[in-house]
Amino acid sequence: MKKKLYVPHPGHFEGLAQLLASSKDIYSIYMAGSPDYIGTGRVNLGHASLEEIAKHTQYCHNKGVKIEMVLNSSCMGGQQLTTEGYNLLHWYLSNLEDIGVDTVVVADPYLVEMLDQEFNIPSVVSVLAFVDSPQKAEFYEQLGASSIVVDSNVNRHFDVLEAIKDAVDCELKLLVNEGCLYRCPFRYAHFNFFSHVNGPPPRPNVQDDYYYYKCLTMRINDPSLIIKSPFIRPEDLEEYAHITDVFKIGGRSHLLNWILNCVDAYANESYDGNLMDLMDCPKDLIDLFNIPNKALDGAIQQWKTHSTVCHTCGYCQRLSDKVTQMYSRMGTPDEKLEQWTTLTKKGIDTL
């Protein structure tokens, strides 16, 4: 399938050069700017100044690759509506326009309209605007959006995706490997937290990310939540061809080799390895679970017609019990893999 892959910037110029030298399958690189002006909803490995953005943009363009700036803070604390906030945003976006970035991703409707009214940069509606219905997609298109990253919660709701496709003419983009919980209860609070941590000061000094820990605990206790997560497997991209040919690979906090592995998998539409290798988040579970990606072949046919009421369907639970393996004694010569269900059937050993 011919497709456009949006790929995360590895956070430094040398990494960008290696990335573009190593893969010819990248349509666009995306990166965050400086958190001092507009925040971003995720952790980044680098905080690029305007000079660096200009250098990276020129480099990408010389290689025939587009560059997208991700300014998708889900909460700016209302500063964007103050005179000072407007002036600062306007100054920053003017600089990005002068640099020649190709697109800007924003989550706030106010910024979609500002970009449309005052700049000549196409705006992309972030996945953090949670566009999960044709009505919301129409709203953003009418506001001036040139592209919409659809809420990944509906990645497996083909009826909704098809309705959104019918409702708008703008480009649709799907985030393939976010790996978040389906209908995650922490989603809004967590991204608002990230937006402040990765946004203008004052930044909260937090030792423990409650939302992340809780997300991990839920999946450690129930790995079927990983299967239920609305990722799109590389093998299943073809199923989305009637919706879009534009796919975004998440992973701004990952290193170059991880990004390249994902690009290869999605470019080739095949991956023979642990599904967890491809998931942007949660990273830590790669040391706990092995879910052979190929063991999920064909599951898309169920997901395309599935009930979204998990407790009456049970398909993902059964699939998870069948395919999920767990590592034990990792990092030692005794490292082994066993079926997840083995541990839960053992019961309690009180030493």
Partner 1 sequence: MTLDNLLKTRANMEERIRQLIGRAAMVIELDLFALPCGCSGYTANTRGLALDDLEVFEEHFLKQLKESAEAVGVSPGFVFARIIPGTQEIAALNVRELCPRCYSDFAATSGKRPRPDIYIFHLVKRKR
Q: How far apart are CA 196 and CA 200, in angstroms?
A: 7
Q: Which stretch binds partner 1 (CB under 8 A): 9-17, 131-139, 235-243, 343-351?
A: 343-351
Q: Residues 149, 288, 296, 299: which binds partner 1 (CB under 8 A)?
A: 288
If one asks whether residue 349 binds partner 1 (CB under 8 A), the answer comes out as yes
Q: What's the min distance (Å) between Cβ of 204 and partner 1? A: 14
If one asks whether residue 343 binds partner 1 (CB under 8 A), the answer comes out as yes
In this structure, the dihedral spanned by the alpha carbons of residues 261, 265, 270 and 272, taken in order and rounded to 10 degrees, is: 10
Q: Residues 78, 201, 202, 347: which binds partner 1 (CB under 8 A)?
A: 347
Separation in Å, CA 273 to CA 94, 118, 350: 44, 47, 36
By beta-carbon proximity to partner 1, the closer residue of 240 and 258 is 258
Long-range contacts of 167-171 (CB under 8 A, 24+ apart): 167/134, 167/135, 167/137, 167/138, 168/134, 168/137, 168/138, 168/141, 169/141, 170/137, 170/140, 170/141, 170/145, 170/146, 171/146, 171/147, 171/244, 171/246
Q: How far apart are CA 147 and CA 157, in angstroms?
A: 19
Separation in Å, CA 152 to CA 121, 165, 181, 198, 250: 25, 15, 10, 22, 11
If one asks whether residue 342 binds partner 1 (CB under 8 A), the answer comes out as no
Q: How far apart are CA 244 and CA 157, in angstroms?
A: 14
Q: Locate all alpha helices (DSSP H) within the chain, ordered by sequence.
A: 13-22, 50-62, 83-99, 109-118, 134-143, 158-167, 187-197, 210-221, 224-228, 256-268, 299-305, 310-313, 315-323, 340-346
* Bond from prior residue into 8 cis (ω within 30 degrees of 0): no
If one asks whether residue 181 binds partner 1 (CB under 8 A), the answer comes out as no
Q: What's the min distance (Å) between Cβ of 212 and partner 1? A: 9
If one asks whether residue 331 binds partner 1 (CB under 8 A), the answer comes out as yes
Q: How far apart are CA 71 and CA 78, in angstroms?
A: 15
If one asks whether residue 43 binds partner 1 (CB under 8 A), the answer comes out as no
Q: In a 10 Å sphere around its CB, with 0-12 CB exposed, 13-18 middle and 19+ buried, how is residue 197 labelled?
A: middle
Which tokens in the block code for residue 196?
């402040």
Q: Which stretch binds partner 1 (CB under 8 A): 174-182, 253-261, 307-315, 321-329?
A: 321-329
x/- letters, 89..128, toward partner 1 (CB under 8 A): ----------------------------------------
Q: Which stretch binds partner 1 (CB under 8 A): 27-35, 114-122, 152-160, 282-290?
A: 282-290
If one asks whether residue 78 binds partner 1 (CB under 8 A), the answer comes out as no
By beta-carbon proximity to partner 1, the closer residue of 166 and 349 is 349
**Hey, which residues between 189 and 208 contact partner 1 (CB under 8 A)?**
207-208
If one asks whether residue 61 binds partner 1 (CB under 8 A), the answer comes out as no
Q: How far apart are CA 230 and CA 224, in angstroms?
A: 12
If one asks whether residue 284 binds partner 1 (CB under 8 A), the answer comes out as yes
x/- letters, 208..237, toward partner 1 (CB under 8 A): x-x--xx-xx--xx----------------
Q: What's the min distance (Å) between Cβ of 187 and partner 1? A: 18
By beta-carbon proximity to partner 1, the closer residue of 61 and 214 is 214
Q: What's the min distance (Å) between Cβ of 249 and partner 1? A: 25
In this structure, what DSSP letter does residue 254 have? S
Q: Write down the residue that tokens 């799907």 correspond to.
A: 174
By beta-carbon proximity to partner 1, the closer residue of 111 and 323 is 323
Q: Which stretch binds partner 1 (CB under 8 A): 29-37, 112-120, 178-186, 280-288?
A: 280-288
Instruction: Give the binding site for partner 1 (CB under 8 A).
Output: 207-208, 210, 213-214, 216-217, 220-221, 284, 287-288, 326, 328-332, 334-335, 340, 343-344, 346-351
